[in-house]
Structure 1
Amino acid sequence: MPERYGLEQVSIRMVRDAPLISEESIETPEDAIRLLGETFKDYDREVVGVVHLRNDNSPINMTIVSMGCLNQSIVHPREMMKAAFLSNASSILMFHNHPAGSLSPSKNDIAITNRMQQVCMMAGIPMLDHIILGKENYYYSFREKGILPMEEVRYSTSLSDVDLKVAEKEAEKYGYQKAEKSSPKKSIKSSLAEKKKLAGASKDTKKRKTMKRGPEL
């Protein structure tokens, strides 16, 4: 009797920490700085966080997604979105601090903001802004600077617009083998005819071999 294996069941739950922000709505970057700046101004390393907002832009909660070093932090969209789904957020506000003082966004800051815009729009939870927190309430707002306009993601409605070859190549990178094209089904009549043809060819081959050997003495 084969051994039975159990599949472990896991759960994802949010744990409520001490409150850092109030019920005041966040309408401008100044509102965000007023609520978040005091908490994160003294960090000696980069901290990336997300504020989850209701329809009226009042905060539901806030979560720290990543804590890095002096001038860099590692973050991925999947970590950014986990708590947003669990919080039933209508929109999010991304932020991180620059302990070194400069507010200019790095190439990595721009890249993750661009990715988050696309992921958030596809998930139906738009990212309102990405704010870099500096010292003494200075900040950098991606929305204010217009560095990456928040554009809606447009979905194709035509198969001709979908490049499946690209999808196949990406799938192969992850170990998925390209499916072989299955041959069309044959009718019974054509199958019998093909079988008869092969049998006749086999008889002709045997006959030719016999003729080459010649008659036995």
Structure 2
Amino acid sequence: MKHQLIFVAAMMFSSTFAAEISLTDGRSFSNASIVSETPLTVVIKHTGGLTSVSKQQLPADLQRQHPINEAAAIDSEKKAAVAREAAIKVRQAEVEKSAKIRAQREADTASSVTAAKEDAAAQAARLALEKRRAQSALESYFLDKFSSSPGAERTVDVTIRDMRQSNGWPDRWVVTGSAVIRQYQPSSTPVNTTGMNAKQASRAEYRASKYAVETREFEADYTTGSSPPSLNVTMR
């Protein structure tokens, strides 16, 4: 009798946990058993693997063993909704953070470009100013260096071809260019212009005078750190 009861129990276990399960939608799973469940679904393990199905699709006997729990399903859905909302907020926060980082990076880049442009403009303005000062200093230098005879008139025109800062010396510049020295020496003997008109008289005085033009190539070290700026000129 004892052995018969054990056999019947084994048969019931086999039919409940390792039997063929036919669903209401027509699907059928052999050697199948329910391994887990949620308030609305079960997971069936069978020869083909694992399949999740709605409890409503189970046969009546299995629906009684695994009833639908509406209250638990509603609670589970609420928790899932809260989790989804939290995930959305986290994602939105990440997107906003990325947008702020990108905006800050773009602002920093724009600021760097603006600063570079302003720095370049400031350097160009300083170069133009120092170039004018260097030209004036060089013209004074050549006027003093090439002395003229008493009564002579002299002019100097300096052309700067290149001007650049010396490496490591922010107040020292290397200047290259040319100086055109023009000298006009009127005749010391009065010119007889009797009977000449103004134009003829001017030509006669010019022919009697001395006029010279000289061009000098130079390279100069121009230092603005001192007052007045210092100038060291080398003729080429």
TM over 0.5: no
From the two aligned structures, give the one with the greater helix fraction. 2
Report the TM-score when normalising by structure 2. Answer: 0.23
- Choose between structure 1 and 2 for higher RCO, CA contacts under 8 A separated by at least 6 residues: 1
From the two aligned structures, give the one with the greater strand fraction. 2
Report the TM-score when normalising by structure 1. Answer: 0.24
Q: Which has the larger radius of gyration?
A: 2
